[in-house]
Amino acid sequence: MPDKHRKKGRKSSSRTKQDVLRRKGKNHLPAKKKTATSSKKKDKQKSGEKVMPPLVTGRRLWLFRIIAVTVIPAILFLLLEISLRLGGYGFPTTITIKDKINDEPCYYNNTKFAWRFFHPNIARTTEPFVFPANKSEDTYRIFVMGASAAAGTPDGAFCFGRMLEVMLRRQYPKANFEVVTAAMPAINSHVVLEIADDCTRYQGDLFIVYLGNNEVVGPYGAGTVFSTMSSSMSAIRLRIALKATKLGQLVTNLLESAGAGNSPKIWRGLEMFLDKQVRAGDASLEIVYEHFQRNLQDIRRLACKSGINIIFCTVPCNLKDSPPFASLHRPNLTDAEKKSWDEIYQRGITYETDGNYAEAVDLYLQAAKIDDSYADLQFRLGRCYWEMGDYEKARAGYIRARELDTLRFRADTRINEIVRDTAGNKTVDGVYLVDAVNVFEENSPNRTPGEELFYEHVHMNFKGNYLLAGAIFEQVEKILPGRIKSSRADDRPFPTEAECARDLAYTDWDQYNIAEKVLNDYIKQAPFTNQLYQNQRVKQMELQIDAYKAAISPELVNQVEVQYRRAIEQTPSDWWLHWKYGQLLEDLGKDNAAAAQYRLVLSSVPNHFEAFAVLGLLCGKGGDLDAAIANNLESVRIYPTFPESHFNLGFAYHLKKDYDKAVEHYSRTAQLVPDRAEVHNNLGLVLFQQGKIEKALKAYRNGLKFVPDNLDLHYNLGIVLQEQGQRGQAIKELEIALQIDPNSAKVHKILNAIKRADR
């Protein structure tokens, strides 16, 4: 039939095509292949045989890999971060914390901010500050940023920021100025960049940046002990960013618990850096300079982007009266050259000591031909030239000595050049420069700053802070908005240094206390003890302190009290005045009056952990141990690593015979300040009273590791050893105590009793 034949013909034609394809190497047509595959799958499924999924290839494979290494870890990180935040883990990382005071929203300083950069045991904090969350229209808000010199060390009550506020308030009495000093010891530009970033959110009008002394020794610097230096700015910023997360804090804590962290856990001041010397010309210094410049540029960028004016200040230092902290010879100096250098140098010292400065200079210059990189040599040259009246060469020698100092705690010439370059001629962008180095030189004998303006190497005395504040005021006044400029009191002369002292209640009492603090906490401690002419300097300061002390009479004390009351009457909202007045009253034994002042401090600054601690101490002295404990527990809540609070708690619990808690807080204090002998003594006593004799012995011996010349530790250890029947060891400890104080009646008494019992 025709139709059938037609169908057969098509079929035959189809087979022919398949045969052709087979001959070309294709066994199946695409359609047939799909059908066959589906059929095989169905057969395997029916038989129960495992069916393999199709392989992922090409773009899909790469997309899967990217998701596996980025999206999935990011989701896991986010989930963990959210869980830790919901669980309240970790600490806040911004420079402020938002809260309410008297139902008004405000910001106050975060005492845990620096935990991102230091171990919590040694992290410093800003002085307390508070400012309203809602800025009024007549307010001009200024943030001061920097390290300890900007914070006003050794006494923040007299920092240049507070003096600037006095100057502005006197000249513009109708305006409201808020000067917030967001500065703290030991930090550098890596930390200040984070502070500046935070402060852009607080309706600031002006940033003042006084920064540069700690670039080498601060976090991530070439001479730091706090963290590992990295040449990569990206790596440093990633580490800082990770520690701002709760997961990053968890990982850090786990590493610390496992002993992987190498950050110091005991604060030992500048002594910590003795093994971290950095030579001039070291390649790592170039990295420090690059990082400093990058951070300053980014601080400037943040301010400009936020519409905030910014003043960069160069950083002066004590050239004339602060010798180098450490010196090193050039690395390739041979033994023979070193021997020759030493001989010439020692002869020069002999001439200098005898007052033969010209002869000393000749010898020092001979030594310099062998090796001129030794910082002390350059300082001695500067001093000899100064004594000879050749002040230009003296100044050059002092500057050279600072540049060569291998413990780099002072801003050098390059640091200040970077500050000038960053500020540049940027006034159109709201960027300004106060060349404080030049200002200090112009106000120093022979343009060489020294003890007239500084307490030691970088921290300014009252006159130095006043001078810097005045220079900044001149620049601030130029950039104040018209609404404030129009309110200037033209009939008021610029406040003198004496008027600033009156407004801030800077008294003879403060001069005495600050001088004692500088001598005992700085000059008598390493590495200041390594400086040239140290004995001469100590004697000079001791004579000055003796003069201050001799001048303190009942009449003077009355005058000081009057000064404080007048200052408080003029500015009752200034919590610093209440704090300082409370300290004075406490020193005078007027505990109730002092406590009243501390309560006024807390009414203005409720996160003032020191005020809580001192108030608790006064309550304890008055017999109210429950109030003492409550106040100190609040202090610890605000600032968990404040040793005074833990010690006060240990003492209060000890008196209440809650020995376990006493041991807990005494032990914590010993971790934070292991060189405090009374902590180990009290801890040993509590343990002894608990009958834990071996632990008591261990407490005394641990204390002697840090304070080997403490009479009480040897005495108490001797008594406990005697109680244990270890008479030989007891006698040994008591005899050591007598070597420390041969006139100690209590040691003689117990030692004689032991020896009589042995006869």
Identity of the residue numbered 452: E
The whole-angstrom separation of Cα 575 and Cα 157 is: 10
What is the predicted pLDDT for the residue at 487?
86
pLDDT over 60 at 284, yes or no: yes
C-alpha 584/C-alpha 185 separation (Å) is 25
Closest among 537, 592, 588, 608 to 156, alpha carbons compared = 608
Strand pairing category for 130-132 and 104-109: antiparallel
How far apart CA 683 and CA 674 sit, in angstroms, is 12
- Report the percentage of the chain scoring pLDDT > 90: 81
The answer to whether residue 40 scores a pLDDT higher than 70 is no
Is 104 strand, coil or helix? Answer: strand
Residue 19 has pLDDT above 80, yes or no: no
Strand order in the sheet with 96-101: 96-101, 104-109, 130-132
Helices (H), 519-553: 534-551
**Poorest-pLDDT segment among 265-274, 466-475, 523-532:** 265-274
Confidence of residue 386 (pLDDT cuts 50, 70, 90): very high
- Cα–Cα separations (whole angstroms), residue 189 to 236, 468, 497: 12, 20, 31
* pLDDT tens digits, one per residue of 150-190: 999 999 999 999 999 999 999 999 999 999 999 999 999 99
Q: What is the per-residue pLDDT for 26?
A: 44
484 to 140, 172, 487: CA distances (angstroms): 9, 7, 5
pLDDT in tens, 639-682: 999 999 999 999 999 999 999 999 999 999 999 999 999 999 99
Distance of CA 618 to the CA centre of its chain: 29
HSE (CB half, 13 Å, CA atoms) of 303?
33
Give residues with Cβ within 8 angstroms of 653, minimum separation 6.
629, 659, 661, 662, 665
Q: Does residue 527 have a cis peptide bond before it, meaning omega lies within 30 degrees of 0?
A: yes
Nearest Cα to 179, choosing from 197, 159, 201, 193? 159
Conformational region of residue 344, where left means phi above 0, alpha means psi within -120 to 50, and beta covers everything else = alpha
**Contact partners, residue 443, CB within 8 Å, separation at least 6:** 453, 467
Helix axes 335-353, 357-370, angle to 10 degrees: 170
Calpha distance 418→313 (Å, rounded):
11
Segment 559-585 mean pLDDT: 97
H/E element holding 142? strand 139-146
CA distance 544 to 512: 9
Domains of the chain with bracketed CATH: 2-36 (no CATH), 61-90+230-262 (no CATH), 96-227+264-320+411-489 (3.40.50.1110), 335-404 (1.25.40.10), 557-758 (1.25.40.10)
- Are 448 and 320 contacting, i.e. CB atoms less than 8 angstroms apart? yes
Q: Where would I find the beta strands (DSSP E) of 330-474?
A: 431-434
Q: Which amino acid is at 337?
A: E
Q: Out of 82-96, 191-205, 366-380, 498-512, which region has the weakest mean confidence (pLDDT)?
A: 82-96
Residue 91 DSSP symbol = -
Q: Contact 279/324 with Cβ under 8 angstroms?
A: no
State mean pLDDT over 25-32. 44
Task: Assign 109 to helix, strand or coil.
Answer: strand
Q: What pLDDT score does 31 carry?
A: 46
Most confident range (mean pLDDT) of 64-78, 413-427, 466-480 is 466-480
First to last CA, the chain: 145
Number of other CB atoms surrounding residue 627 within 10 Å = 16
Determine the residue type at 696: A
pLDDT at 62 over 80: no
Per-chain mean pLDDT for the chain: 91
What residues contact residue 640 under an 8 Å CB cut-off, 6+ apart?
120
Q: Are 382 and 397 in contact (CB under 8 A)?
A: yes
pTM of the model: 0.89
Phi, psi of 525 (to 5 degrees): -110, 155
pLDDT attached to residue 391? 98
Q: Which of 22-31, 508-517, 718-727 has the highest mean pLDDT?
A: 508-517
State whether the Cα torsion 517-149-645-662 is positive or negative: negative
Determine phi and psi for 755, rounding to 5 degrees: -65, -35
Average confidence (pLDDT) over 241-258:
88
Burial of 172 (0-12, 13-18, 19+ CB in 10 A): buried
C-alpha 468/C-alpha 424 separation (Å) is: 20
- In degrees and rounded to multiples of 5, residue 435 shows phi and psi of -85, 80
